[in-house]
Structure 1
Amino acid sequence: MRRGYVIEKEKDGKVILLTIGWLSAILAFGFFPFFLGAVAISMGVVLRRDYDVGKQGTGLIVIGIIGIVVGTVIGALAPW
């Protein structure tokens, strides 16, 4: 290694974070809305902050919030 050169590690895992985030956001509409919505929101924040995936990170945050609200309403109205 030469002096003056910095070797940057590439961040791996963007694809798995996107996959987990979108699955959580979609499933928050029907199952465990608070948990899965929070997972989607946190994945969106991490993707925006650390991986420079701005549009999809923002989308995950918005869909996570909507999933929490709509999933809770559906759960409250469901005649179990």
Structure 2
Amino acid sequence: MKKKLITSAFTLVLLLGLGTGVMAATNKIDCNVGDFKEMLPMMQDKFPNLSEKQLKEVHKDCVAKMKKESGTDCMINK
């Protein structure tokens, strides 16, 4: 009985550890920023005073930030 309990506990710890390792190794961007043309209407609503050139820079900076710091919220999606 003790052997089954210890084996089950060890298996659970091992599976959780492997799952955490795999999750940490993924390089997923949580922001899901689309291409500039797709995001333009939404960005124009959020930043009505910016020119298209400025909006392109905002998009470019956001994508770069998301690639560098995975898991950080994107200012466009707020």
Relative to the length of structure 2, the TM-score reads 0.34
Over alpha carbons, which structure has the higher Rg?
A: 2
TM-score (norm 1): 0.33
